[in-house]
């Protein structure tokens, strides 16, 4: 059933009664949870992916996004009940669908230079099946102004914008909490090409999101919301890092100060640490920087510089720890715990471990690595040797907040390590407990001898 021209209540009713077909393009960490949630709320969902294995698994009711709690059951149930299926045929899916959601990767390098090929590929496929009254939505993160760049491709269908609707509804979530977030942790942000499409988007997302919808005045404004959220985090982490470095110089414990300061409702200091990784927070600032004309986004640029310098500071802490233990860096054994950019997710974009390992090797240290989500081959790619114990290790450096690292066996470490130094780049250990066992403990914003 076509949704353009219906009010939000009718849209909701049509979805819940099973009269609306939604095609979700891209069945990865974001797309698969979304497809399952739409199906759970009554829509007929066709998932589209270029990866045949992914499509086959989904049609068997098997989940390939293991990091997502609750997705196994949600997927299986909706496939078995016939509301969710998958295909590699994006054109056929577009012919059958009333709503097409684009949730493929928006590829960027570390400086936010974009490659929108997957988005354009999907837009071409949709244009071959597009019908009057259809609604096309980008949920993939798009720099402000980019969703509208697919209009000419969609118009290759012979239809003009207005005969079909275009909207943007950014994913405000992350791997591991997608189902929770898209069903009502935060309101959904939507922007659309015209009022009728906006009304349809409100109806669509009010159906699946208990927290409701915030309609924006334009697609570009909706795109900016998601990008600005990321930049806020990057700048705030940079501020936390800057103040933490100051605390180190002045013999203060930054976390103690931040915790107390944050009890006042206008203060939201974030966590200092080994650096900012992932596909989102360190990349979105570049969208704004790269698109800046007269504005010179100095603060955004400086924040990026500060956060990018933190892996180097971790190396400085390693050297300080070794000095205090009376051991030269050259010939020391350093074990890096965590190759991924954060805990619980096997993603490597801008992982702090990489520059840390490289710099320590330049100093002549032997560098080892372990990560519960990785393999010895991953360690090798990073330039380190896989190691699953602490024998002969001088310094343990924690670079990802995996659950396992929060409950390290400190007694075993104490017995096996050669010099007992810990550099906690993710603030996961309790300093008092660690120091009681005779370790030298260092973290960003807290050193023993300034």
Ligand X SMILES: NC(=O)c1ccc[n+]([C@@H]2O[C@H](COP(=O)([O-])OP(=O)(O)OC[C@H]3O[C@@H](n4cnc5c(N)ncnc54)[C@H](O)[C@@H]3O)[C@@H](O)[C@H]2O)c1
Name the β-bridge partners of 192.
167
**Complex with ligand X: residue 122 or 240, whichever CB lies closer:** 122
Is 280 among the catalytic positions? yes
CB 350 within 8 A of CB 275: yes
Residue 392 φ then ψ, to 5°: 75, 5
The nearest distance, CB 270 to ligand X, in angstroms, is 18
In angstroms, what is the minimal distance from the CB of 229 to ligand X?
10
Task: Respond yes or no: is residue 247 known to be catalytic.
Answer: no
In angstroms, the CA 84 to CA 37 distance is 10
Q: How far is it, in rounded angstroms, from Cα 99 to Cα 94? A: 8
> How many CA atoms within 13 Å lie on the side-chain side of 333?
16
Q: Report strand pairing: 188-192 vs 213-215.
A: parallel
Q: Which residue in the list 29, 44, 125, 280 is annotated as catalytic?
A: 280
CB of residue 363 to ligand X, shortest distance in Å: 34
Q: Which CB atom, from 283 or from 367, has the smaller least distance to ligand X?
A: 283
Give the integer Cα–Cα distance in Å for 274 and 278. Answer: 13
Strands 44-48 and 21-25: what pairing? Answer: parallel
Residue nearer to ligand X on the CB measure, 26 or 133: 26
Q: How far is the CB of 420 from ligand X (least distance, A)?
A: 36
Under DSSP, is residue 416 helix (H, G, I), strand (E, B) or coil?
helix
Give the orientation angle of helix 310-324 with respect to helix 353-362, to 10 degrees.
50
Q: Which of 29, 44, 125, 226 is catalytic?
A: 226
Residue number, nearest CB to ligand X: 28
Residues at the site binding ligand X, with contacts judged by CB under 6 A: 25-31, 48-51, 54, 103-106, 118, 121-122, 140-141, 171, 173-175, 279-280
Comparing CB distances to ligand X, the nearer of 138 and 300 is: 138
Measured from the CB atom, is 55 or 384 closer to ligand X?
55
Q: How many CB atoms lie within 10 A of CB 299?
A: 13
Provide the 10 A C-beta neighbour count for residue 444.
27
Q: Which of 24/329 has CB closer to ligand X?
A: 24
CB of residue 133 to ligand X, shortest distance in Å: 23
- 272 within 8 A of 352, measured Cβ to Cβ: no
**Least separation, in Å, of the C-beta of 240 and ligand X?**
22
Question: What six digits make up the tokens of 277?
Answer: 């990784």
- Show which residues are catalytic: 226, 280
């Amino acid at each position: 059933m076509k949704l353009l021209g219906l009010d939000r209540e009718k849209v909701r009713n049509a979805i819940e009664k099973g009269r609306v077909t939604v095609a979700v393009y891209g069945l990865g960490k974001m797309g698969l949870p979304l497809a399952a949630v739409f199906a759970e709320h009554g829509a007929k969902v066709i998932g589209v992916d270029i990866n045949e294995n992914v499509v086959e698994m989904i049609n068997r009711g098997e989940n390939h996004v293991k990091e997502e709690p609750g997705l196994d059951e949600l997927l299986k149930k909706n496939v078995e009940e016939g509301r969710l299926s998958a295909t590699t045929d994006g054109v056929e899916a577009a012919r059958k669908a009333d709503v097409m959601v684009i949730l493929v990767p928006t590829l960027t390098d570390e400086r936010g230079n974009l490659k929108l090929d997957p988005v354009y590929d999907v837009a071409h496929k949709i244009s071959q099946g597009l019908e009057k009254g259809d609604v096309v939505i980008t949920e993939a993160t798009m720099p402000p102004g980019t969703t509208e760049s697919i209009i000419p491709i969609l118009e290759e269908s012979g239809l003009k914008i207005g005969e079909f609707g275009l909207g943007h509804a950014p994913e405000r979530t992350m791997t591991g909490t997608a189902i929770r977030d898209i069903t009502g942790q935060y309101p959904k942000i939507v922007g659309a090409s015209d009022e009728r499409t906006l009304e349809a988007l409100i109806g669509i997302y009010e159906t699946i999101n208990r927290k409701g919808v915030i309609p924006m005045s334009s697609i570009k404004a909706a795109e900016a919301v998601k990008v600005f959220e990321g930049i806020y985090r990057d700048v705030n982490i940079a501020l936390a890092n800057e103040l933490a470095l100051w605390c180190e110089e002045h013999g203060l414990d930054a976390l103690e100060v931040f915790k107390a300061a944050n009890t006042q409702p206008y203060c939201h200091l974030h966590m200092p640490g080994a650096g900012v990784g992932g596909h989102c927070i360190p990349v979105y600032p570049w969208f704004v920087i790269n698109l800046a004309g007269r504005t010179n986004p100095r603060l955004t640029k400086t924040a990026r510089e500060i956060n990018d310098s933190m892996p180097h500071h971790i190396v400085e802490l390693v050297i300080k720890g070794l000095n205090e233990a009376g051991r030269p860096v050259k010939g020391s054994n350093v074990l890096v715990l965590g190759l991924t950019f954060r805990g619980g997710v096997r993603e490597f974009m801008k992982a702090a471990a990489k520059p840390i390992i490289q710099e320590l090797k330049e100093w002549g240290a032997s560098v080892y690595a372990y990560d519960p989500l990785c393999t010895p081959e991953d360690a090798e790619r990073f330039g380190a040797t896989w190691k699953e114990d602490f024998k002969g290790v001088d310094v343990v450096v924690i670079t990802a907040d995996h659950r396992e690292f929060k409950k390290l066996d400190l007694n075993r470490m104490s017995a096996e390590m050669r010099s007992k130094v810990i550099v906690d780049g993710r603030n996961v250990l309790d300093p008092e407990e660690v120091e009681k066992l005779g370790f030298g403990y260092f973290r960003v914003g807290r050193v023993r001898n300034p």
